[in-house]
């Protein structure tokens, strides 16, 4: 299976979305289809086939729409001019304003009625030139046996235009009694003004869509166009960014953007990563440290070695995540899709019923027809179609600026319902850099502590575990040289074993010690636990003795992140339960929980990496909506098991596995982002509900008013255009959100 993205031009309302989805689902091999009106994009999951792209494009074109290469977010992200696309609107205003003269003159008691032939000359270009798009799209919808906004506009304005011609003909042939001068009121201004107002509304929508995708546009602009390639002799030459390869050495001058993900080789500087991580302060960088493409270099010159380019770079993954979220459908959209499927047919039935009712009540044909036209014009399926996706676009864009990447719209919609937040301890609540605070030999002896530290360092020499780095750092600080290691084996959640100086040794967790029957000295163990330390044991295996012997206890301490306690207080103030999941022994885990303000009853201690998902599942079985926050590959199953997974993956670090498993990725290790993500979810869902309320309210209130004759077609057209614009504007208010 493969995922394809296509841009779909010509969609105007929720009914169009349904028609495109049906057309794409009819293509053999297509499994899933999601069409987004706000981004004008379609995401298709289909079986691998060499001509699937061509068949999908043909299906879109057969449905009456225009297939394009790039996905909608890319197309919208192109920098627009301020007045792009305003030409048809300006032409419509110039031609329609004179037709409004009689209405304006009536306010001052003046008769500014234009001759019928002048009204026709002004209205015809608007109806058949500027309004041609509505006829084309409406015809395609009618051929497909469905309806859309374009069909309603085309029918309504054509009826008003045709009625005007008929009334003029009757008056000219003497068949109309007339009013005063013998010429009845014509409705050319209604058809022209409605089309102009709809065009104006669509132009305002397009501008709002571009504002909603400004997050993607800002991220795309982080890529510099050229890089300074450093040759073998140190000579710099400018090359296009597309020609940069992994392993190249590049010079990054002061004030320039880093061209690609890289590692610093020479120089020191401070780098601004705020556009990627939301971190407001520059970060010091020196040799050996990672840089993320798109970050801004400070005052120092850096020479870097490229680590990743193109789609593998952090910036490209961030853009892809934001695009995916903005193109996805929120679950609440299912309700809108069901309504959209029947909306236009129902409106057509209501319009016909309005015409028949007025005629039955004794109204003249022109009055009955105008009321029916008002019903057609005020109905607005486009507002329904835009209500959810534009709010999701705005919400995910704001989140990206704060360093919160939303992978899918479901996570964004669900996060506000979370009542329990589960944290992995090491690296998430703590800084993730434990230090060896004590090595306590089982027996006293001169040089015994130093000898056992050397053996422990040897066992940990091939491991990347944080505790292993702590042992190696302690050995290096004391100038201890580890002996050679043979036959090393790591046992996840238990420890590591290997041969050192002809004997089999192991660094074991207390759980593994219990399984092996190797019991540490209880008094020494209790003293270390009382200090809140994480304790491991150094074991020596003796075949003659049977069970291994504990030769030393190693105590580790890891400090909580500076903001951790405040972040947890913030979550608890929101009424949320906070749970800590740790592989440490209970005493050490509870000591850390006490420092952070987590209740002992909410500590899950001595949990193996593979059992974290079971702990999350147990919380969900108890009826809780759970968010899991973790930072490593061993947290991925738990992140996937939670209702909302949040991966802490700072730019240039973290793990791809955790990011893929989580619905939300926090781009810096600031725990305050957890509460921000939950709050932003609530704000976004509130905007979705507000938009849907107003979209439904416009139609529920407007259609009956038009049917009762209380709205003219011009007012109905203005209301219809306003409904879409107001939905867009309401969603864009999210851009002002601050935590």
- pLDDT, tens digit, for every residue of 452-493? 999 999 998 877 777 888 999 999 999 999 998 888 888 877
162-166, 324-328, 609-613: least confident range: 324-328
Q: What does pLDDT average to over the chain?
A: 83
- Summarize the confidence of residues 32-59 as an average pLDDT: 86
Examine the pLDDT at 76 and tell me if it is beyond 70: no
Query: pLDDT tens, 352-373?
Result: 999 999 999 988 888 898 899 8
How do strand 603-604 and strand 577-581 relate by DSSP bridges? parallel
* 642: Cα separation from own chain's centroid: 18
Examine the pLDDT at 318 and tell me if it is beyond 80: no
209-223, 226-240, 678-692: least confident range: 209-223
Residue the block writes with tokens 């798109």: 294
Bin 191: left if φ > 0, else alpha if -120 < ψ < 50, else beta. Answer: alpha
Task: Please report which confidence band the pLDDT of residue 328 belongs to, taking 50, 70 and 90 as the band edges.
Answer: low
Residue count of the chain: 739
What is the pLDDT, as a whole number, of residue 305?
93
Distance CA 176, CA 197 (A): 31
Query: pLDDT tens, 585-640?
Result: 788 888 889 989 999 999 998 887 778 889 999 999 999 999 999 886 678 788 88
- Quickly list DSSP for 675-710: HHHHHHHHHHHHHHHHHHHHHHHHHHHHHHHHHTT-
Examine the pLDDT at 73 and tell me if it is beyond 60: no
Whole-prediction pTM = 0.71
- Summarize the confidence of residues 713-731 as an average pLDDT: 80
User: So which residues are the catalytic ones?
Assistant: 424
What is the pLDDT, as a whole number, of residue 302?
92
Examine the pLDDT at 8 and tell me if it is beyond 80: yes
Distance CA 60, CA 70 (A): 14
- Summarize the confidence of residues 499-528 as an average pLDDT: 88
What is the pLDDT, as a whole number, of residue 72?
44
Cα dihedral 718/722/724/728 (nearest 10): 160
Query: pLDDT tens, 534-553?
Result: 889 999 988 666 678 899 99
- Summarize the confidence of residues 322-332 as an average pLDDT: 69
Contact 611, 452 (CB under 8 A): no
Contact 327, 39 (CB under 8 A): yes
Bin 42: left if φ > 0, else alpha if -120 < ψ < 50, else beta. Answer: beta
Contact 112, 118 (CB under 8 A): no
Provide the token pair at 330: 């929120």
Examine the pLDDT at 216 and tell me if it is beyond 70: no
What is the pLDDT, as a whole number, of residue 182?
55
Distance CA 318, CA 313 (A): 9
Q: Which residue has the higher pLDDT, 48 or 601?
A: 601
Q: What does the H/E/C string look like for 245-285?
A: CCCCEEEECCCCECCCEEEEEECCEEEECHHHHCCCCCEEE
Compute CA distances 660 → 73, 412, 447, whole Å. Answer: 21, 16, 48
Provide the token pair at 88: 């048809």
Examine the pLDDT at 213 and tell me if it is beyond 70: no
Examine the pLDDT at 181 and tell me if it is beyond 60: no
Residue the block writes with tokens 């102009």: 196
Task: Please report which confidence band the pLDDT of residue 676 belongs to, taking 50, 70 and 90 as the band edges.
Answer: very high
Provide the token pair at 331: 């679950």
Distance CA 659, CA 239 (A): 32
Examine the pLDDT at 99 and tell me if it is beyond 50: yes
Bin 77: left if φ > 0, else alpha if -120 < ψ < 50, else beta. Answer: alpha
Distance CA 478, CA 471 (A): 11
Type and span of the H or E element at 673: helix 672-707
Distance CA 448, CA 306 (A): 46
Q: Helix, strand, or coil here: 637? A: helix
How do strand 283-285 and strand 269-272 relate by DSSP bridges? antiparallel
309-323, 519-533, 583-597, 699-713: least confident range: 309-323
Distance CA 737, CA 42 (A): 29
Q: How large a percentage of the chain has pLDDT more than 90?
A: 25
What is the pLDDT, as a whole number, of residue 621?
93
Provide the token pair at 704: 């009956």
Rg of the chain on CA atoms, in Å: 34
Distance CA 602, CA 623 (A): 16
How do strand 534-541 and strand 435-441 relate by DSSP bridges? unpaired
Distance CA 375, CA 715 (A): 11
- Summarize the confidence of residues 220-234 as an average pLDDT: 83
């Amino acid at each position: 299976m493969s995922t394809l993205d296509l841009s779909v031009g010509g969609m105007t309302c929720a009914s169009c979305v349904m028609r495109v989805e049906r057309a794409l689902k009819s293509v053999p091999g297509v499994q899933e289809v999601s069409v987004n009106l706000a981004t004008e994009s379609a995401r298709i999951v289909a079986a691998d086939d060499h001509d699937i792209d061509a068949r999908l494009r043909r299906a879109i074109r057969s449905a009456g729409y225009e297939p394009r290469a790039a996905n909608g977010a890319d197309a919208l992200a192109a920098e627009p001019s301020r007045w792009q696309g305003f030409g048809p609107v300006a032409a419509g205003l110039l031609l329609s304003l004179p037709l409004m003269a009689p209405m304006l003159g009536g306010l001052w008691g003046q008769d500014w009625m234009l001759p019928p032939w002048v009204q026709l000359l002004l209205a015809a270009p608007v109806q058949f030139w500027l309004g041609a798009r509505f006829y084309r799209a409406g015809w395609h919808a009618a051929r497909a046996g469905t309806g859309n906004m374009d069909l309603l506009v085309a029918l309504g304005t054509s009826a008003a235009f045709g009625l005007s011609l008929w009334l003029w003909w009757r008056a000219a042939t003497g068949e109309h009694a007339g009013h005063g001068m013998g010429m009845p009121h014509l409705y050319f201004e209604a058809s022209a003004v409605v089309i102009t107002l709809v065009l104006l509304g669509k132009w305002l929508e397009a501008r709002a869509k571009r504002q909603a995708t400004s997050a993607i546009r800002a991220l795309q602009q982080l890529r510099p166009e050229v890089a300074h390639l450093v040759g073998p002799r140190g000579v710099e030459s400018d090359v296009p960014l597309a020609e940069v390869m992994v392993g190249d050495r590049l010079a990054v001058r002061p004030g320039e953007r880093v061209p690609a993900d890289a590692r610093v080789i020479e120089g020191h500087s401070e780098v601004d990563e705020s556009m990627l991580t939301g971190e407001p302060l520059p970060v010091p960088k020196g040799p050996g440290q990672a840089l993320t493409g798109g970050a801004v270099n400070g005052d120092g010159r850096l020479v870097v070695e490229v680590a990743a380019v193109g789609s593998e770079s952090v910036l490209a993954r961030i853009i892809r995540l934001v695009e995916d979220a903005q193109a996805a459908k929120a679950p609440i959209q299912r309700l809108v899709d069901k309504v959209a499927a029947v909306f236009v047919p129902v409106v057509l039935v209501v319009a016909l019923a309005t015409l028949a009712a007025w005629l039955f009540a004794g109204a003249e044909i022109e009055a009955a027809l105008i009321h029916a036209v008002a019903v057609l014009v005020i109905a607005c399926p486009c507002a329904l179609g835009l209500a959810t996706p534009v709010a999701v676009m705005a919400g995910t864009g704001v989140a990206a600026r704060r360093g919160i990447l939303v992978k899918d719209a479901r996570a964004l919609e669900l996060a506000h319902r979370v009542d329990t937040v589960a944290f992995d301890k090491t690296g998430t609540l703590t800084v993730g850099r434990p230090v060896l605070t004590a090595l306590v030999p089982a027996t006293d002896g001169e040089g015994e502590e130093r000898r056992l530290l050397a053996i422990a360092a040897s066992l940990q020499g091939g491991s990347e575990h944080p505790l292993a780095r702590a042992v190696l750092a302690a050995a290096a600080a004391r100038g201890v040289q580890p002996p050679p290691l043979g036959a090393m084996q790591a046992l996840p959640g238990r420890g590591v074993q290997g041969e050192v100086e002809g004997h089999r040794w192991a660094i074991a967790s207390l759980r593994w010690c219990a399984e092996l029957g190797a019991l540490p000295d209880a008094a020494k163990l209790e003293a270390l636990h009382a200090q809140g330390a994480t304790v491991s044991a150094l074991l020596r295996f003796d075949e003659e003795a049977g069970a291994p012997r504990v030769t030393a206890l190693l105590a580790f301490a890891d400090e909580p992140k500076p903001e951790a306690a405040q972040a947890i207080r913030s979550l608890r103030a929101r009424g949320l339960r906070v749970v800590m999941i740790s592989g440490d022994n209970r005493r050490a885990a509870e000591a850390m929980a006490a420092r952070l303000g987590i209740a002992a009853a909410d500590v899950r201690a001595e949990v193996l990496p593979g059992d974290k998902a079971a702990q999350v599942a147990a919380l969900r079985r108890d009826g809780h909506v759970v968010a899991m926050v973790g930072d490593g590959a061993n947290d991925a199953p738990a992140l996937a098991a939670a209702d909302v997974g949040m991966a802490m993956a700072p730019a240039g670090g973290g793990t791809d596995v955790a990011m893929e498993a989580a619905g939300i990725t926090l781009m810096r290790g600031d725990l305050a982002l957890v509460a921000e993500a939950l709050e932003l979810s609530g704000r976004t869902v509130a905007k979705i509900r507000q938009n849907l309320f107003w979209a439904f309210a416009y139609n529920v209130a407007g259609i009956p008013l038009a049917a009762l004759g209380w709205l003219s077609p011009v007012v109905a057209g203005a209301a219809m255009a306003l409904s879409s614009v107001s939905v867009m504007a309401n969603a864009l208010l999210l851009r002002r959100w601050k935590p």
